[in-house]
Amino acid sequence: MTADDDRMRSIAEALIEVGMDKTVRLMLPGIGPSMGKLMVALDGDDSPALESALVDLYILLHNAGSRYAPEELEMLKKRGGYLNYPGGLLPIIMAEQYIKPETVVFDLGAGNGLQGLLLQRLYPHRKTIQVELSGEMIRIGRIFQYALHIGDDRVEWLNDDILEVPLKPADFIYLYRPARPSGSGTEVYRYIAARVAESDRPLVIFSVADCLGRFLDKSLSVVYSNGHLTCFRRE
């Protein structure tokens, strides 16, 4: 069994813990088959079957609570924002080498925060800051947080516009294309790049379906890219 297989099993166990929560089961009454499939896969040694079952449950949980109030939807449109997309398992697995106990992680456009919560669960660190416009998704995210027994001292939820959030405390930034890379959406990427450029401290950025890179200064270099995930680092 490889280290990635071990990490997938850890993610699977965390998702099952979320899915076993009474409140989550009431909220997602159709979760049973996905839970059962993953539990069976965990008892076996078929890595492709485990990954398939894990992705099914991950997507189901990631999409929970994907709703916006009218004023939130208006701001989303103003920013050229996208709705909630799952970032996948690779960023979670790859983050292990970059997240240390003292790390502050920002998830920009966190949705219900599942990605950031898994990073906190697998690699406990000082703080995960979840930035999200939808109050409903934050409500669901808190349910997930408590199901994973992650304390409020380690997770902060910001129901806010990305352009209102200072990024100076960040050691690690995660984002999955929170806005379109054209029109008003470019404001989001210019803002992130400008805030990042204000500091010369070490920083790692995981950008899924990357639209940020062309706005970053030369202090950040690409350390990994596969066409889906691009990782930038400043030493």
Identify whether the C-beta of residue 111 lies closer than 8 Å to the C-beta of residue 66.
yes
Contacts of 170 (CB under 8 A, 6+ apart): 104, 105, 106, 129, 196, 203
In tens, the pLDDT along 65-75 reads 888 899 988 98
SS3 85: coil
- Give the CATH number for residue 171: 3.40.50.150
The span from the CA of 207 to the CA of 192, in Å, is: 12
pLDDT at 149 over 70: yes
Amino acid at 47: S
* Residue 134 and residue 181 share a domain: yes
**Among 14, 46, 62, where does a domain finish?**
62
- Give percent above pLDDT 70 in the chain: 99
Domain holding 137, by residue range, is 70-234
Q: How confident is the model at residue 1 (pLDDT cuts 50, 70, 90)?
A: low
The 10 Å CB-count burial string (b at 16+, else e) for 111-145 is bbbbbbbbbbbbbebbbbbbbbbbebbbebbbbbb
Strands 155-159 and 229-234: unpaired
* Residue 144 and residue 92 share a domain: yes
* Residue 151 and residue 36 share a domain: no
The residues that bridge with 107 in the sheet, in sequence order, are 130, 174
Q: Which of 9-18, 30-39, 76-85, 168-177 has the lowest mean pLDDT?
A: 76-85
Query: How many domains is the chain built from?
Result: 2
The span from the CA of 231 to the CA of 26, in Å, is: 37
pTM here is: 0.94
The span from the CA of 115 to the CA of 108, in Å, is: 11
The span from the CA of 219 to the CA of 203, in Å, is: 10
Q: What is the pLDDT of residue 60?
A: 95
DSSP tally for the chain: helices H, then strands E: 9, 7
Residues 181-209, mean pLDDT to the nearest whole number: 94
pLDDT at 100 over 70: yes
Q: What is the pLDDT of residue 5?
A: 81
Q: What is the pLDDT of residue 46?
A: 86
* Residue 50 and residue 97 share a domain: no
- Give percent above pLDDT 90 in the chain: 83
Residues 106-127, mean pLDDT to the nearest whole number: 97
Strands 229-234 and 203-208: antiparallel
* Residue 85 and residue 55 share a domain: no
**Among 18, 45, 62, where does a domain finish?**
62
* Residue 137 and residue 102 share a domain: yes
pLDDT at 9 over 90: yes
Residues 56-64, mean pLDDT to the nearest whole number: 94
Q: How confident is the model at residue 83 (pLDDT cuts 50, 70, 90)?
A: confident
* Residue 206 and residue 106 share a domain: yes
Q: What is the pLDDT of residue 47?
A: 86
Q: What is the pLDDT of residue 233?
A: 98
Q: How confident is the model at residue 24 (pLDDT cuts 50, 70, 90)?
A: very high
**Among 62, 78, 104, where does a domain finish?**
62
Terminal CA-to-CA distance of the chain, rounded, Å? 32
* Residue 203 and residue 93 share a domain: yes
* Residue 51 and residue 109 share a domain: no
* Residue 28 and residue 104 share a domain: no
Identify whether the C-beta of residue 202 lies closer than 8 Å to the C-beta of residue 182.
no
Average pLDDT, the chain: 94
* Residue 55 and residue 109 share a domain: no
* Residue 161 and residue 85 share a domain: yes
Q: How confident is the model at residue 85 (pLDDT cuts 50, 70, 90)?
A: confident
- Which spans in the chain are helix H? 3-20, 22-27, 32-43, 47-62, 70-78, 90-94, 114-122, 135-147, 185-197
